[in-house]
Chains A and B, each alone.
Chain A
Amino acid sequence: MEFVFKRPESLIDVPFHFCPGCHHGIAHRLVAEAIDYFKIREKTIGVASVGCSVFMYDYFDIDVLEAPHGRASAVASGVKRALKDRIVFTYQGDGDLGAIGIAEGIHTANRGEPITLIFANNGIYGMTGGQMAPTTLLGQKTTTSPYGRDFTYDGYPIRMAEMMATLEGSAFVARVAVNNPANLMKAKKAVRKAFQMQIEGIGFSFVEFLLACPTNWGLSPLEANRRVEEEMIPYFPLGIFKERKMADYL
């Protein structure tokens, strides 16, 4: 019998610890598929962040370095500067990149470090138990915005992809979702493109994933999937915000 669908080689054959209906596993898989596609498993170094994504080293069959909370993009820049011919990526949550590590993320992009940032935006702090994230939507209830996020108290959800795209240093910026097969296929393409930008030395690449967090949203997996479509995508539009064709400079 012929295999038509199998586990990517870059993923280790262990069950994910992620909650039922969580989209992290799908995003992990898409990254692993891109690594397989370009046959770069043996030259890729992943940088794990702090949050649900910290256990990356349990799942990816590659060298992995664990960064302090928020610092993954600086850590990854250090790796890349030391080993310029390797492929380096981070996988960071919204607290990691959008809050505590926003300076490191922006300056990494601004320096045009030829690395790839995978940004997992589920609008909530998953690992710590459902607190407000910088990307939590207005009105959204979390354990630290029990009355719903109010911009007069908490400000607005940050659109990271759009912000990254404004920086001259970024070469490829996209926002994707995996809530349905059509979006998933676009996400797969975007991740592949992001790694390609790095492999070809074109520059810094950034893919924001809108991910469901049913557990902390207090929804069933199906309801959470619907919420991505109905509430997240209208505020965080999907698409490619920037795509350089070559390593160009001002």
Chain B
Amino acid sequence: MDQSAEKILVKGNEAIAMAAIDSNCLLYFGYPITPQNDIPEYLSKHLPPLGGEFIQAESEIASINLLLGASATGKRAMTSSSSPGISLMQEGISYMAGSELPAVIVNISRSGPGLGGISPSQGDYFQATRGGGHGDYRVIVLAPSTVQEMYDLTCLAFDLADKYRNPAMILGDALLGQMKEPLIRKKPPSLPLPPKDWALTGAKGRKPNRIKSLYLQEGELTEHNWKLYQKYERMKKEEVRFECVGCEEADLVIVAFGSMARVAKTVVELAREEGMKVGLFRPITLFPYPEKPLYELSRRVKRFLTVELNTGQMVEDVKLSVDREAEVYFYGKPPGALPTPEEVFEEVKKSMG
């Protein structure tokens, strides 16, 4: 582990793999799928010498269940995949949420539906933020927009997963996974974490631990669902993260996450050059969504332009968050190519009237 502050040039996918190792995650299970293969390739090379375990599973279904088993022992574990593979994992993610098992799941998303394509997309926003599988649950979703954030947020994801006993997801995309940027490989300080007294290690000197998601006794499941709900509410209070660029003086604020936020940052600059007061609100946690900060902002700013690499998903959360008097515009592009800053800037001009 390199803890020096030296800058290295790495792919977003590699940054995630490095963050896993630096977060003391030595158990990885995955199945190859483009565009995230750098993660299993890196870890297959670097985990065994560290005494870790790497399994190339027979499917994403097996991967997520290997992850479920490993995380039940209290050890840190991770899997990564891309959209179609993440769909296959939804059953396991639901079980992990129901069984309150912490682990990190990386989605370097590609475009769908179906086999779709391998270009960047934000079409998995609903799947990621609404639970994704069956039942009433949520996973913590972090959306990096730089290679440095791919690293930093993966480190954070492990802590948040452990803090809440809940799966945490990194939602990147083909662009973020494949591009190279400078990275300072220095693990951020850890959060204070509760002991894992629930872990299955063999019932030595204690009563047996049981980890399950089946509750058939009258009232048990209701109670369990309320307990999970309270946990999600606590996340909303304590874990919301976002970035604001020039929002203070803005007449219009662009809302975008991940790779679209990169384009939006350039748009903010273009607008400023022309004397237009445009800001950027970038949610970093997609669940919990930064509802309150966005609402606070909307008490002053009355125009929002949501920009997404899909035909409109996060825009629903923006509409749910902002003040009723605020206007919410949307510019979306189905997967294929990212819109250019100029293209988005035209939309900004239209929205500003």
Contact = CB atoms under 8 A, between A and B. Distances in A.
A is bound by B: yes
Interface of A: 41-45, 47-48, 54, 57, 60-68, 71, 74-83, 86-87, 103-104, 107, 111
Contacts, number: 127
B210 A78 contact: no
Contact of A81 (B66, B91, B209): B66
B65 A68 contact: yes
Interface residues of B, number: 37
B77 interface: yes
Interface string B46-81: 000000010101110110011111111101010000
Contact of B72 (A65, A103, A111): A65
Contact of A79 (B55, B57, B200, B214): B200
Nearest to B66: A78
Contact of A43 (B57, B61, B204, B210): B204
Contacts of A68: 65, 68, 91-92, 95
Contacts of B68: 65, 67-68, 71, 75, 78
A74 B57 CA distance: 9
B58 A78 contact: no
Contacts of A64: 200, 208, 210-212
Nearest to A87: B202
A57 B210 contact: yes
Interface of B: 27, 29, 53, 55, 57-59, 61-62, 65-73, 75, 77, 91-92, 95, 99, 200-205, 208-214
A42 B204 contact: yes
A107 B62 CA distance: 9
A45 B65 contact: no
Given A62-B203, A65-B68, A82-B69, 8 more contacts: A42-B204, A43-B202, A63-B208, A64-B200, A78-B68, A79-B72, A80-B69, A107-B58
Contact of B92 (A45, A66, A71): A71
**5 A-B pairs with least C-beta separation:** A78-B69, A74-B65, A66-B212, A75-B69, A42-B204
A61 B209 CA distance: 9
Contacts of A80: 69
Contacts of A74: 57, 61-62, 65-66, 69
A107 B202 CA distance: 25
Given A68-B91, A75-B66, A81 B203 contact: no
Contacts of A63: 200-203, 208-210
A241 to B, nearest CB: 23
Contacts of B58: 103-104, 107
